[in-house]
Chain A
Amino acid sequence: GAGVSQSPSNKVTEKGKDVELRCDPISGHTALYWYRQSLGQGLEFLIYFQGNSAPDKSGLPSDRFSAERTGGSVSTLTIQRTQQEDSAVYLCASSLAPLAGGSNTQYFGPGTRLTVL
């Protein structure tokens, strides 16, 4: 498909386990973003990759969270030693290179719903 895809769509895990969430951005998009969304709420920024630049990790809530982007395309968000408060929908978005001044259209995937028991 031409859109952003994420896998898995749902993930149930036990407290203390590690999880990996995957994002396939739109081909040609150099920017990739991860957000977290609690039920019916706004989006919390986690991390942002742009081309070969160092990622903006300012939104990661703790050192249990990390993300990488291989080959400028696919990205994986890893949460180590999951906690119940990590339960949320994790959304990935991609865009063309952001313009100076910040106006860009981000295209979102359907998200991964993470439940930590």
Chain B
Amino acid sequence: TQLLEQSPQFLSIQEGENLTVYCNSSSVFSSLQWYRQEPGEGPVLLVTVVTGGEVKKLKRLTFQFGDARKDSSLHITAAQTGDTGLYLCAGAGGTSYGKLTFGQGTILTVHP
């Protein structure tokens, strides 16, 4: 069974601060995705990383896939109140491709 450990589970910071969310596994994934979810809505895909060591930037968000494709991180620079939400990592691959394995999620609250 593939598992993804996501940390921290809760993050409460002030606007303008930086933060990093981690996603770790003992399993290798063919790709890893990061989603953001707001209350009452389904998750929305932010990025997919595929290549070990890959770094992708989306405005103030930086995503990295570990060299061994077992871990990933999401770094937010100068957080804004609009970044508040639930962030989820999800790994794809393994014997049942198409199926995603999700981490437990990180609830981020950015205070003004």
- Interface residues in chain A, defined as those with a beta carbon under 8 Å from any beta carbon in chain B: 4, 31, 33, 35, 40-45, 48, 50, 56, 58, 91, 93, 95, 97-111
On whether the beta carbons of A56 and B99 are closer than 8 Å, the reply is yes
In the complex, the answer to whether B99 meets A100 with C-beta atoms within 8 Å is: no
Number of A-B contacts (CB under 8 A): 80
B112 within 8 A of A: no
Q: Chain A residues with Cβ under 8 A from B101's Cβ?
A: 45
Hey, which chain A residues are within 8 Å of B40, CB to CB? 110-111
Interface of B with A (CB < 8 Å)?
Answer: 6, 29-31, 33, 40-45, 48, 50, 86, 88, 90, 92-94, 96-105, 107
Closest partner residue, chain B, to A108 (CB atom) = B42
Interface contact B42-A111, CB-CB below 8 Å: yes
| Least Cβ–Cβ distance between A62 and chain B, in angstroms | 18
Q: Is the interface of A mostly helix, strand, loop or mixed?
A: loop
Shortest CB-to-CB span from B4 to chain A, Å, is 8
- The reply to whether B98 and A95 form a contact with Cβ atoms under 8 Å apart is yes
Contact B100 A45 (CB under 8 A): yes
Question: Which residues does chain B contribute within 8 Å of A33, judged by CB atoms?
Answer: 99-100
Distance in Å: Cβ of A89 to nearest Cβ of chain B: 9
Contact A100 B97 (CB under 8 A): yes
Contact B99 A48 (CB under 8 A): yes
Are A31's CB and B105's CB within 8 A?
A: no
Q: A residues within 8 A CB of B33?
A: 105
* CB–CB A41/B105 < 8 A: yes
Is the Cβ of A101 less than 8 Å from the Cβ of B105? no
The answer to whether B43 and A105 have CB atoms under 8 Å apart is no
A-B contact pairs, 29 of them (CB 8 A): A33-B99, A33-B100, A35-B102, A41-B104, A42-B88, A43-B43, A44-B102, A45-B100, A48-B96, A56-B96, A56-B99, A58-B96, A91-B43, A93-B42, A95-B98, A98-B97, A99-B97, A101-B31, A102-B30, A102-B31, A102-B97, A103-B31, A103-B92, A104-B98, A105-B48, A106-B100, A108-B43, A109-B42, A110-B41
